[in-house]
Amino acid sequence: MAEGITIFCRDVTWTQLSDWLDERWPESRLPGTLHWQMPLPDYSISVYDAGASMHSYDPSDRQEITRVLGGAPDLGMIVELRRSVQDEACDMTTELTFAIMSTFPSVADDEAGKLWTRKDIERCRSNTGARFLDTYRSEPAEPSGAPEPPLTRDPKA
């Protein structure tokens, strides 16, 4: 079973995003698709085109995504986390999401009622004090106020 988030981006095409993903995670794309599994060989996350997922959101949620993003999204992608490796999948998803947000205007919907910006993830805190993807982790963080250690893994490695 898997859990997932949706990342909405603006000012980028799928061609640009595909090239960017392929450069950072070579050989992760399934041939002939817009679907990546990373890291290899034993992947913990899958990334793929969200298609028309924005249309499944309520109008007020679409407005909020557009407001936080600073404009209407040009694309959406699903990041599916493998539950069997949940903490590893959360770490990989955090790394990927932060890298995307550092490159393209983006916002992440964690499917638990929160929209995350790059600054939220950088601080490792949301407005409610939880870490990014806490609802999927095996041991959620205590709301102590101490930030999670910074990401140290190079996504090009």
User: Into how many domains does the chain fold?
Assistant: 1
Secondary structure class of 59 (helix, strand, coil): helix
What pLDDT is attached to residue 128? 57
What pLDDT is attached to residue 131? 74
What pLDDT is attached to residue 103? 96
DSSP state of 67: H
What pLDDT is attached to residue 111? 79
89 lies in a domain? yes
Domain coverage including residue 113: 2-136
Where residue 39 sits, what CATH number does that domain have? Answer: 3.30.310
Secondary structure class of 84 (helix, strand, coil): helix
148 lies in a domain? no
What pLDDT is attached to residue 126? 46
Q: Where do the DSSP E strands lie in 50-139?
A: 75-82, 106-109, 115-116
63 lies in a domain? yes
Q: What is the pLDDT along the chain (157 residues), one digit of tens a residue?
A: 458 899 999 999 999 999 999 999 888 999 888 899 988 777 888 898 887 677 788 889 889 999 999 999 999 999 988 877 778 888 888 889 999 999 999 999 987 778 889 988 887 654 555 678 877 777 755 554 444 443 333 334 3
144 lies in a domain? no
8 lies in a domain? yes
Q: Which pTM was predicted?
A: 0.81
Q: Is 10 exposed, middle or buried (0-12, 13-18, 19+ CB in 10 A)?
A: middle
52 lies in a domain? yes
| Cβ(18)–Cβ(104) below 8 Å | no
What pLDDT is attached to residue 7? 94
